Amino acid sequence: MNEPVIQVAHAAVGYDGRSVLRDVSLTVTAGEVVAVLGANGSGKSTLIRAVLGLVPLGAGSVTLFGTPQRRFRQWHRIGYVPQRLGAGSGVPATVGEVVASGRLARRGVLRPPGRADREAVAAALRAVGLADRAGDPVATLSGGQQQRTLIARALAGRPELLVLDEPTAGVDAASQEAFAAALRAFRDGGGTVLLVAHELGPLRPLIGRAVVVHQGGICHDGAVPEPAGHHAEPGHDHVHPHCDEEPAGLWSM
Amino acid sequence: MDLFFHYDFMLRALVGALVIGLAAPALGIYLVQRRLALIGDGIGHVALTGVGAGLLLNRSPVLVAVVAATLGAIVIELVRSRGRTSGDLALALLFYGGIAGGVMLVGLSDASSGSLNAYLFGSLTTTSPADLVTIAVLGVALLVTMLALRPALFAVCHDEEYARVSGLPVRALNLLLAVGTAVTVTIAMRAVGVLLISALMVVPVATAQQVTRGFRATMAAAMALGLFAAGAGLWVAATADTAPGASVVLLAIGSFLVVALLAAGRRALRRRTRPAPAPVAEPPEHEVVLR
Beta-carbon contacts of residue B20 (< 8 Å; ≥ 6 apart): B135, B139, B184, B187, B188, B190, B191, B192, B200, B226, B230
Chains A and B form CB pairs within 8 A to the count of 116
Residue B140 distance to chain A (closest CA, Å): 18
Confidence of residue B281 (pLDDT cuts 50, 70, 90): very low
What does pLDDT average to over chain A?
84
Type of residue at A40: N
Of A123, A178, A175, the C-alpha closest to A154 is A123
Q: Judge: A93–B167 Cβ closer than 8 Å, yes or no.
A: no
Alpha-carbon span B159 to A138, nearest angstrom: 13
Angle at which helices B170-191 and B244-273 cross, to 10°: 120
The answer, yes or no, to whether residue A113 has pLDDT greater than 80, is yes
Q: Which residues of B touch A132 (CB under 8 A)?
A: 285-286
Nearest CB to B282; choose among A73, A74, A172: A172
Q: Judge: A96–B215 Cβ closer than 8 Å, yes or no.
A: no
Q: Which residues of A touch B282 (CB under 8 A)?
A: 142, 144-145, 172, 174-175
Q: pLDDT digits over A125-150, tens only? A: 998 889 999 999 998 888 888 888 99
Q: Judge: B165–A172 Cβ closer than 8 Å, yes or no.
A: no
Q: Judge: B154–A93 Cβ closer than 8 Å, yes or no.
A: yes
Instruction: Tell me the whole-structure pTM to 2 decimals.
Output: 0.85
Q: pLDDT digits over B104-139, tens only? A: 888 888 777 777 888 888 887 777 888 888 889 999
Beta-carbon contacts of residue A217 (< 8 Å; ≥ 6 apart): A21, A22, A23, A24
Residue B214 distance to chain A (closest CA, Å): 4
Q: Judge: A136–B286 Cβ closer than 8 Å, yes or no.
A: yes
Nearest CB to B168; choose among A98, A100, A109: A109
CA atoms within 13 Å, Cβ hemisphere of A135:
4
- pLDDT for position B5: 67
- Report DSSP state, residue A245: P
Mean pLDDT on B73-77: 83
Residue of A nearest to B159 (CA): A86
Q: Judge: A85–B213 Cβ closer than 8 Å, yes or no.
A: no
The answer, yes or no, to whether residue B245 has pLDDT greater than 80, is yes
Confidence of residue A87 (pLDDT cuts 50, 70, 90): low
Q: Which ipTM did the prediction report?
A: 0.85
